[in-house]
Amino acid sequence: MRVTEGGVDLEVPGEQTEGVEEPVFYNPRQELNRDLTIATLRAYREREDRAETYLDAMTASGVRGVRAAADGWDVTCCDLEADAVDLAQENVARNDLEADVRVEHRNVNALMHDEPFDVIDLDPYGTPMPYADAAFANCRDLVCVTATDTAPMCGAHFNSGVRSYSAVPRNTDYHAEMGVRILLSALARSAARFDVGVEPILTHATSHYVRTYLELEHRATAADAAVDELGSLYHCEDCLYRESDPGLIADPLETCPHCGGNRVLVAGPVWLGSVQDPAFVDAVREEIPDEFGTAERARDLCETLAAELDAPTHYDQHKLCRNWGVPANAMDDFLADLRDAGYAASRSHYGGTTFKTDASVGEIRAATEGSLTN
Ligand SMILES: C[S@@+](CC[C@H](N)C(=O)[O-])C[C@H]1O[C@@H](n2cnc3c(N)ncnc32)[C@H](O)[C@@H]1O
Ligand SMILES: [Zn+2]
Protein backbone atom coordinates (compact mmCIF):
# COMPACT_ATOMS: atom_id res chain seq x y z
CA MET A 1 0.00 0.00 0.00
CA ARG A 2 1.34 3.43 -0.98
CA VAL A 3 1.04 6.26 1.55
CA THR A 4 2.02 9.92 1.35
CA GLU A 5 2.55 11.72 4.62
CA GLY A 6 4.09 15.13 5.26
CA GLY A 7 5.43 15.27 1.70
CA VAL A 8 7.23 11.90 1.76
CA ASP A 9 6.21 8.66 -0.02
CA LEU A 10 6.09 5.38 1.80
CA GLU A 11 5.37 1.81 0.89
CA VAL A 12 3.79 0.00 3.84
CA PRO A 13 2.37 -3.53 4.12
CA GLY A 14 -1.36 -3.77 3.14
CA GLU A 15 -4.29 -3.11 5.43
CA GLN A 16 -3.13 -2.92 9.02
CA THR A 17 -5.09 -2.87 12.20
CA GLU A 18 -3.73 -2.45 15.69
CA GLY A 19 -4.25 -5.46 17.93
CA VAL A 20 -3.88 -8.08 15.19
CA GLU A 21 -0.90 -10.40 15.13
CA GLU A 22 0.83 -8.83 12.14
CA PRO A 23 3.20 -6.08 13.30
CA VAL A 24 1.83 -2.59 12.78
CA PHE A 25 4.51 -0.99 10.62
CA TYR A 26 2.58 2.14 9.85
CA ASN A 27 -0.24 3.44 12.00
CA PRO A 28 -2.24 6.18 10.26
CA ARG A 29 -3.78 7.09 13.62
CA GLN A 30 -0.38 8.40 14.74
CA GLU A 31 -0.16 11.00 11.97
CA LEU A 32 -0.99 13.85 14.38
CA ASN A 33 1.82 12.66 16.65
CA ARG A 34 4.26 12.64 13.69
CA ASP A 35 3.10 16.00 12.28
CA LEU A 36 3.65 17.56 15.69
CA THR A 37 7.03 15.86 15.95
CA ILE A 38 8.20 17.45 12.71
CA ALA A 39 6.85 20.86 13.72
CA THR A 40 8.55 20.48 17.11
CA LEU A 41 11.86 19.55 15.50
CA ARG A 42 11.60 22.65 13.32
CA ALA A 43 10.78 24.94 16.26
CA TYR A 44 13.51 23.34 18.34
CA ARG A 45 16.17 23.83 15.67
CA GLU A 46 15.12 27.46 15.29
CA ARG A 47 15.92 27.86 18.98
CA GLU A 48 18.96 25.59 19.27
CA ASP A 49 20.75 25.62 15.94
CA ARG A 50 23.48 23.25 17.15
CA ALA A 51 20.97 20.33 17.13
CA GLU A 52 21.72 18.21 14.03
CA THR A 53 21.46 14.49 14.72
CA TYR A 54 18.11 12.73 15.16
CA LEU A 55 17.67 9.11 16.22
CA ASP A 56 14.37 7.52 15.13
CA ALA A 57 14.87 4.84 17.76
CA MET A 58 11.96 2.55 16.84
CA THR A 59 11.53 3.29 13.19
CA ALA A 60 9.19 0.55 11.84
CA SER A 61 8.37 1.87 8.31
CA GLY A 62 10.99 4.62 8.67
CA VAL A 63 8.37 7.33 8.46
CA ARG A 64 9.68 9.60 11.21
CA GLY A 65 13.28 9.31 10.09
CA VAL A 66 12.41 9.94 6.43
CA ARG A 67 10.33 12.98 7.33
CA ALA A 68 13.11 14.36 9.57
CA ALA A 69 15.74 13.73 6.89
CA ALA A 70 13.59 15.55 4.32
CA ASP A 71 13.81 18.50 6.74
CA GLY A 72 17.63 18.37 6.80
CA TRP A 73 18.28 16.39 9.98
CA ASP A 74 21.19 13.98 10.07
CA VAL A 75 19.12 10.86 10.72
CA THR A 76 19.73 7.39 12.11
CA CYS A 77 16.80 4.95 12.05
CA CYS A 78 16.87 1.83 14.19
CA ASP A 79 14.68 -1.23 14.62
CA LEU A 80 15.01 -4.64 16.20
CA GLU A 81 12.97 -6.38 13.49
CA ALA A 82 14.64 -7.33 10.21
CA ASP A 83 11.38 -6.76 8.28
CA ALA A 84 11.13 -3.23 9.64
CA VAL A 85 14.76 -2.47 8.78
CA ASP A 86 14.23 -3.68 5.17
CA LEU A 87 11.08 -1.60 4.86
CA ALA A 88 12.72 1.50 6.34
CA GLN A 89 15.67 1.13 3.96
CA GLU A 90 13.30 0.90 0.98
CA ASN A 91 11.43 3.97 2.14
CA VAL A 92 14.63 5.94 2.62
CA ALA A 93 15.73 5.00 -0.94
CA ARG A 94 12.30 5.82 -2.38
CA ASN A 95 12.48 9.46 -1.27
CA ASP A 96 15.70 10.64 -2.94
CA LEU A 97 16.87 12.33 0.21
CA GLU A 98 19.81 14.68 0.01
CA ALA A 99 21.12 13.63 3.39
CA ASP A 100 22.39 10.11 4.04
CA VAL A 101 20.12 8.18 6.36
CA ARG A 102 21.61 5.28 8.27
CA VAL A 103 19.31 2.37 9.13
CA GLU A 104 20.54 0.17 11.98
CA HIS A 105 19.32 -3.34 12.71
CA ARG A 106 19.94 -3.38 16.45
CA ASN A 107 18.50 -3.24 19.88
CA VAL A 108 18.34 0.53 20.22
CA ASN A 109 19.39 0.38 23.87
CA ALA A 110 22.81 -0.84 22.71
CA LEU A 111 22.98 1.80 19.97
CA MET A 112 22.12 4.62 22.39
CA HIS A 113 24.86 3.48 24.75
CA ASP A 114 27.34 3.36 21.86
CA GLU A 115 26.90 6.83 20.45
CA PRO A 116 25.37 10.17 21.40
CA PHE A 117 22.57 11.91 19.48
CA ASP A 118 21.25 15.46 19.76
CA VAL A 119 17.61 14.35 19.61
CA ILE A 120 16.28 10.88 20.45
CA ASP A 121 12.73 9.85 19.60
CA LEU A 122 11.35 6.89 21.56
CA ASP A 123 8.18 5.51 19.97
CA PRO A 124 7.78 1.95 21.24
CA TYR A 125 4.73 -0.26 21.63
CA GLY A 126 3.54 0.32 25.22
CA THR A 127 5.78 1.77 27.89
CA PRO A 128 8.96 3.68 26.94
CA MET A 129 10.61 3.05 30.32
CA PRO A 130 12.88 0.17 29.20
CA TYR A 131 14.60 2.68 26.87
CA ALA A 132 14.64 5.75 29.11
CA ASP A 133 17.95 5.14 30.90
CA ALA A 134 19.97 4.67 27.71
CA ALA A 135 18.31 7.72 26.15
CA PHE A 136 19.00 10.06 29.07
CA ALA A 137 22.51 8.73 29.57
CA ASN A 138 23.52 9.65 26.01
CA CYS A 139 21.17 12.22 24.46
CA ARG A 140 22.47 15.79 24.25
CA ASP A 141 19.44 18.01 23.87
CA LEU A 142 15.92 16.66 23.44
CA VAL A 143 14.22 13.35 24.20
CA CYS A 144 10.82 12.82 22.55
CA VAL A 145 8.70 10.08 24.12
CA THR A 146 5.47 8.29 23.20
CA ALA A 147 3.73 6.04 25.72
CA THR A 148 0.72 4.03 24.57
CA ASP A 149 0.12 2.06 27.76
CA THR A 150 -2.51 4.45 29.07
CA ALA A 151 -4.32 1.90 31.26
CA PRO A 152 -1.21 1.20 33.39
CA MET A 153 -0.16 4.87 33.51
CA CYS A 154 -3.55 6.12 34.67
CA GLY A 155 -4.01 3.44 37.33
CA ALA A 156 -6.65 1.33 35.56
CA HIS A 157 -4.13 -1.55 35.33
CA PHE A 158 -2.64 -0.81 38.70
CA ASN A 159 0.11 -3.44 39.10
CA SER A 160 1.38 -2.95 35.59
CA GLY A 161 1.55 0.83 36.20
CA VAL A 162 3.47 0.35 39.45
CA ARG A 163 5.93 -2.01 37.76
CA SER A 164 6.58 0.16 34.71
CA TYR A 165 6.72 3.56 36.38
CA SER A 166 7.94 2.80 39.95
CA ALA A 167 5.09 4.97 41.19
CA VAL A 168 1.52 4.62 42.42
CA PRO A 169 -0.94 5.71 39.73
CA ARG A 170 -4.63 6.10 40.67
CA ASN A 171 -7.70 5.86 38.52
CA THR A 172 -9.46 9.24 38.81
CA ASP A 173 -11.72 11.41 36.64
CA TYR A 174 -8.56 13.02 35.20
CA HIS A 175 -7.10 9.69 34.09
CA ALA A 176 -5.22 10.91 31.01
CA GLU A 177 -3.52 13.60 33.08
CA MET A 178 -2.66 11.03 35.76
CA GLY A 179 -0.91 9.18 32.92
CA VAL A 180 0.97 12.32 31.83
CA ARG A 181 2.20 13.02 35.35
CA ILE A 182 3.12 9.43 36.19
CA LEU A 183 5.07 9.17 32.94
CA LEU A 184 6.89 12.50 33.46
CA SER A 185 7.75 11.53 37.03
CA ALA A 186 9.34 8.27 35.93
CA LEU A 187 11.22 9.98 33.09
CA ALA A 188 12.50 12.75 35.39
CA ARG A 189 13.75 10.14 37.89
CA SER A 190 15.43 8.15 35.12
CA ALA A 191 17.22 11.27 33.84
CA ALA A 192 18.23 12.33 37.35
CA ARG A 193 20.29 9.12 37.73
CA PHE A 194 22.61 10.55 35.06
CA ASP A 195 22.68 14.05 36.57
CA VAL A 196 20.37 15.24 33.81
CA GLY A 197 17.48 17.61 34.44
CA VAL A 198 14.39 17.48 32.23
CA GLU A 199 12.06 20.29 31.22
CA PRO A 200 8.88 19.25 29.39
CA ILE A 201 8.45 21.82 26.61
CA LEU A 202 5.45 20.19 24.94
CA THR A 203 3.18 17.42 26.21
CA HIS A 204 -0.16 16.12 25.03
CA ALA A 205 -2.45 13.21 25.82
CA THR A 206 -4.29 12.29 22.65
CA SER A 207 -6.45 9.25 21.77
CA HIS A 208 -4.82 6.54 23.87
CA TYR A 209 -1.27 7.76 24.03
CA VAL A 210 0.83 10.39 25.77
CA ARG A 211 3.54 12.28 23.95
CA THR A 212 6.12 14.50 25.60
CA TYR A 213 9.24 16.42 24.54
CA LEU A 214 11.87 16.84 27.23
CA GLU A 215 14.65 19.37 26.93
CA LEU A 216 17.72 18.21 28.82
CA GLU A 217 20.16 20.07 30.99
CA HIS A 218 23.31 18.13 31.89
CA ARG A 219 23.89 19.39 35.41
CA ALA A 220 23.31 17.75 38.81
CA THR A 221 21.54 20.88 40.09
CA ALA A 222 19.16 20.74 37.09
CA ALA A 223 18.41 17.11 37.96
CA ASP A 224 17.74 18.19 41.56
CA ALA A 225 15.40 20.90 40.30
CA ALA A 226 13.47 18.31 38.25
CA VAL A 227 13.18 15.98 41.24
CA ASP A 228 11.84 18.97 43.21
CA GLU A 229 8.89 19.04 40.79
CA LEU A 230 7.70 15.64 42.06
CA GLY A 231 5.06 15.10 44.69
CA SER A 232 1.79 13.43 45.59
CA LEU A 233 -1.85 13.86 44.65
CA TYR A 234 -4.62 13.27 47.17
CA HIS A 235 -8.01 12.71 45.61
CA CYS A 236 -11.46 12.28 47.19
CA GLU A 237 -13.51 9.71 45.31
CA ASP A 238 -16.76 11.09 46.74
CA CYS A 239 -16.68 14.83 46.03
CA LEU A 240 -13.71 14.95 43.55
CA TYR A 241 -11.71 17.28 45.82
CA ARG A 242 -8.00 17.03 45.07
CA GLU A 243 -4.83 18.45 46.50
CA SER A 244 -1.19 18.30 45.45
CA ASP A 245 1.68 17.96 47.90
CA PRO A 246 5.28 18.63 46.78
CA GLY A 247 8.10 16.35 47.92
CA LEU A 248 8.93 12.67 47.77
CA ILE A 249 7.53 11.89 51.19
CA ALA A 250 3.74 11.78 51.15
CA ASP A 251 1.64 13.03 54.04
CA PRO A 252 -1.77 11.72 52.95
CA LEU A 253 -5.04 13.25 54.10
CA GLU A 254 -6.97 10.95 56.45
CA THR A 255 -10.28 12.50 55.48
CA CYS A 256 -11.43 14.83 52.74
CA PRO A 257 -11.29 18.48 53.86
CA HIS A 258 -14.31 19.27 51.66
CA CYS A 259 -16.85 16.49 52.32
CA GLY A 260 -15.33 14.73 55.33
CA GLY A 261 -15.36 11.36 53.53
CA ASN A 262 -12.54 8.86 53.97
CA ARG A 263 -12.26 7.53 50.43
CA VAL A 264 -9.11 9.52 49.69
CA LEU A 265 -6.78 8.08 47.03
CA VAL A 266 -3.04 8.80 47.11
CA ALA A 267 -0.99 8.85 43.89
CA GLY A 268 2.71 9.51 43.47
CA PRO A 269 5.36 10.41 42.95
CA VAL A 270 3.82 12.37 40.08
CA TRP A 271 5.25 15.32 38.15
CA LEU A 272 3.58 18.43 39.59
CA GLY A 273 5.48 20.94 37.47
CA SER A 274 4.66 22.52 34.12
CA VAL A 275 4.15 20.19 31.21
CA GLN A 276 4.57 22.84 28.48
CA ASP A 277 6.52 25.95 27.66
CA PRO A 278 3.65 28.03 26.19
CA ALA A 279 6.00 30.21 24.08
CA PHE A 280 7.56 27.08 22.59
CA VAL A 281 4.13 25.57 21.91
CA ASP A 282 3.21 28.78 20.05
CA ALA A 283 6.42 28.43 18.03
CA VAL A 284 5.54 24.81 17.19
CA ARG A 285 2.11 25.94 16.01
CA GLU A 286 3.77 28.37 13.62
CA GLU A 287 5.75 25.49 12.08
CA ILE A 288 2.68 23.47 11.03
CA PRO A 289 2.14 24.02 7.30
CA ASP A 290 -1.24 23.57 5.59
CA GLU A 291 0.18 20.54 3.76
CA PHE A 292 0.32 18.45 6.92
CA GLY A 293 -2.57 15.97 6.97
CA THR A 294 -3.57 16.93 10.51
CA ALA A 295 -2.72 20.65 10.24
CA GLU A 296 -6.01 21.93 11.60
CA ARG A 297 -6.17 19.49 14.51
CA ALA A 298 -2.51 20.01 15.33
CA ARG A 299 -2.89 23.80 15.38
CA ASP A 300 -6.04 23.62 17.51
CA LEU A 301 -4.26 21.33 19.92
CA CYS A 302 -1.29 23.71 20.21
CA GLU A 303 -3.64 26.62 20.81
CA THR A 304 -5.40 24.80 23.64
CA LEU A 305 -2.12 23.58 25.12
CA ALA A 306 -0.55 27.04 25.13
CA ALA A 307 -3.59 28.52 26.89
CA GLU A 308 -4.00 25.67 29.38
CA LEU A 309 -3.60 26.82 32.99
CA ASP A 310 -0.55 25.37 34.70
CA ALA A 311 -2.30 23.29 37.38
CA PRO A 312 -1.58 19.64 38.27
CA THR A 313 -5.06 18.24 37.55
CA HIS A 314 -8.04 19.17 35.41
CA TYR A 315 -11.75 18.85 36.22
CA ASP A 316 -14.51 17.49 34.05
CA GLN A 317 -17.45 19.87 34.21
CA HIS A 318 -19.99 17.14 33.39
CA LYS A 319 -18.69 14.85 36.11
CA LEU A 320 -18.78 17.66 38.68
CA CYS A 321 -22.33 18.62 37.69
CA ARG A 322 -23.47 14.98 37.83
CA ASN A 323 -21.98 14.76 41.31
CA TRP A 324 -23.83 17.91 42.32
CA GLY A 325 -27.11 16.72 40.74
CA VAL A 326 -27.44 19.75 38.43
CA PRO A 327 -27.41 20.02 34.63
CA ALA A 328 -24.18 21.34 33.08
CA ASN A 329 -24.28 24.75 31.38
CA ALA A 330 -22.18 26.07 28.48
CA MET A 331 -18.48 25.76 29.21
CA ASP A 332 -17.75 29.41 28.35
CA ASP A 333 -20.41 30.58 30.84
CA PHE A 334 -19.08 28.21 33.46
CA LEU A 335 -15.51 29.47 33.03
CA ALA A 336 -16.72 33.09 33.00
CA ASP A 337 -18.38 32.53 36.41
CA LEU A 338 -15.09 31.23 37.79
CA ARG A 339 -13.15 34.19 36.43
CA ASP A 340 -15.78 36.66 37.68
CA ALA A 341 -15.29 35.17 41.14
CA GLY A 342 -11.56 35.93 40.88
CA TYR A 343 -10.19 32.51 39.95
CA ALA A 344 -7.95 31.61 37.04
CA ALA A 345 -9.66 29.19 34.65
CA SER A 346 -9.02 27.73 31.20
CA ARG A 347 -10.18 24.93 28.98
CA SER A 348 -7.88 21.93 28.82
CA HIS A 349 -6.87 19.65 25.96
CA TYR A 350 -8.05 16.52 27.77
CA GLY A 351 -11.56 16.84 26.37
CA GLY A 352 -14.32 19.28 25.46
CA THR A 353 -15.87 19.23 28.93
CA THR A 354 -12.56 19.56 30.82
CA PHE A 355 -11.08 22.66 32.41
CA LYS A 356 -8.38 23.83 34.78
CA THR A 357 -8.69 26.30 37.60
CA ASP A 358 -6.97 27.35 40.80
CA ALA A 359 -10.29 27.10 42.64
CA SER A 360 -10.99 24.08 44.88
CA VAL A 361 -14.03 21.92 44.27
CA GLY A 362 -16.01 23.82 46.92
CA GLU A 363 -14.96 27.16 45.46
CA ILE A 364 -15.97 26.00 41.96
CA ARG A 365 -19.40 25.02 43.28
CA ALA A 366 -19.87 28.37 45.03
CA ALA A 367 -18.67 30.40 42.02
CA THR A 368 -20.88 28.64 39.48
CA GLU A 369 -23.94 27.65 41.48
CA GLY A 370 -25.99 30.72 40.49
CA SER A 371 -25.92 29.61 36.85
CA LEU A 372 -26.36 25.89 37.51
CA THR A 373 -29.92 25.68 38.75
CA ASN A 374 -32.85 24.34 36.70
C1 LIG B 1 5.17 1.62 17.54
S2 LIG B 1 6.35 0.97 16.40
C3 LIG B 1 7.14 2.41 15.80
C4 LIG B 1 6.31 3.26 14.90
C5 LIG B 1 7.02 4.34 14.15
N6 LIG B 1 7.94 5.09 14.98
C7 LIG B 1 6.02 5.27 13.48
O8 LIG B 1 5.96 6.48 13.80
O9 LIG B 1 5.27 4.79 12.64
C10 LIG B 1 7.56 0.24 17.46
C11 LIG B 1 8.76 -0.36 16.74
O12 LIG B 1 9.77 -0.58 17.73
C13 LIG B 1 10.54 -1.70 17.36
N14 LIG B 1 11.28 -2.14 18.56
C15 LIG B 1 10.81 -2.76 19.65
N16 LIG B 1 11.81 -2.95 20.55
C17 LIG B 1 12.93 -2.40 20.02
C18 LIG B 1 14.28 -2.27 20.47
N19 LIG B 1 14.66 -2.73 21.67
N20 LIG B 1 15.16 -1.65 19.66
C21 LIG B 1 14.78 -1.16 18.45
N22 LIG B 1 13.52 -1.27 17.98
C23 LIG B 1 12.60 -1.88 18.74
C24 LIG B 1 9.49 -2.67 16.84
O25 LIG B 1 10.09 -3.66 16.01
C26 LIG B 1 8.54 -1.73 16.09
O27 LIG B 1 8.87 -1.65 14.73
ZN1 LIG C 1 -14.57 14.71 49.46
Q: Which residues contact 323 (CB under 8 A, 6 or more apart)?
A: 239, 240
Which pLDDT score, from 0 to 100, does residue 25 have? Answer: 84
Which pLDDT score, from 0 to 100, does residue 126 have? Answer: 95
CA 27 from centre of chain: 18
Q: Which residues contact 283 (CB under 8 A, 6 or more apart)?
A: 43, 46, 47
Q: Which tens digit of pLDDT belongs to each residue from 113-158?
A: 999 999 999 999 999 999 999 999 999 999 999 999 999 999 999 9
Which pLDDT score, from 0 to 100, does residue 19 have? Answer: 53
Q: Which residues contact 79 (CB under 8 A, 6 or more apart)?
A: 58, 59, 60, 85, 88, 103, 104, 105, 108
Neighbouring C-beta atoms of residue 232, cutoff 10 Å: 24
User: How far are the Cα atoms of 37, 184, 256, 273 from residue 227, in angstroms, in the given order?
Assistant: 26, 11, 27, 10
Gyration radius of the chain over CA positions: 21
Residue nearest to atom 22 of ligand 1 (CA): 79
Phi-psi region at 208: left, alpha or beta (left = phi > 0; alpha = psi -120 to 50) = left
Sheet holding 264-271, edge to edge: 242-246, 230-236, 264-271
Question: Residue 103: nearest ligand to its CA?
Answer: 1
pTM (2 d.p.): 0.96
Q: What are phi and psi of 346, to 5 degrees?
A: -150, 160
Quote the ligand 2 centre to 73 CA distance (angstroms): 51
Q: Do the strands 8-11 and 2-5 form a parallel or antiparallel pair, or are they unpaired?
A: antiparallel
Distance between CA atoms of 341 and 362, rounded to whole angstroms? 13
Sign of CA dihedral 94, 99, 102, 108: negative
Which pLDDT score, from 0 to 100, does residue 82 have? Answer: 96
DSSP H helical segments within the chain, as ranges?
A: 31-47, 63-70, 82-94, 108-114, 129-138, 150-154, 158-165, 175-192, 220-227, 278-286, 295-307, 317-324, 331-340, 361-368
> Is 236 annotated to bind ligand?
yes
Angle CA 222–224–226, to nearest 5: 70
Amino acid of residue 181: R
> Is 259 annotated to bind ligand?
yes
Residue nearest to atom 10 of ligand 1 (CA): 124
Which pLDDT score, from 0 to 100, does residue 16 have? Answer: 53
Amino acid of residue 132: A
Q: Which tens digit of pLDDT belongs to each residue from 202-255?
A: 999 998 899 999 999 999 999 999 999 999 999 999 999 999 999 999 999 999
Helix (H) or strand (E) holding 219: none
Which pLDDT score, from 0 to 100, does residue 24 have? Answer: 64
Distance between CA atoms of 227 and 217, rounded to whole angstroms? 13
- Blockwise average pLDDT, block size 10, the chain, 374 residues: 93 66 76 97 94 97 97 97 96 92 98 97 97 97 97 97 98 97 98 98 95 98 98 97 97 96 97 98 98 97 98 97 96 98 98 97 96 80
Domains of the chain: 2-307 (3.40.50.150), 315-371 (3.30.56.70)
* Ligand 1 neighbours by CB, cut-off 6 Å: 26-27, 30, 34, 58-61, 63-64, 78-81, 84, 107-109, 123-125
Quote the ligand 2 centre to 85 CA distance (angstroms): 53
